[in-house]
Amino acid sequence: MQKKPEDIFRSCGGQLRMSEAIERGISRYMLYALRDKGVIE
pLDDT in tens, 5-36: 889 988 999 899 999 999 999 999 999 999 99
pTM of the predicted protein model: 0.75
Could you tell me which of 16, 37, 36 has the C-alpha nearest to residue 25?
16
Write down the pLDDT at residue 2: 74
Question: What is the domain extent for residue 33?
Answer: 5-37
Tell me the C-alpha distance between 28 and 18, whole Å: 7
- Count of domains forming the chain: 1
- What is the pLDDT at residue 14? 87
What is the C-alpha separation between 18 and 13, in angstroms, rounded?
Answer: 15
Q: Is the pLDDT of residue 1 over 70?
A: no
- Please give the pLDDT value at position 23: 93
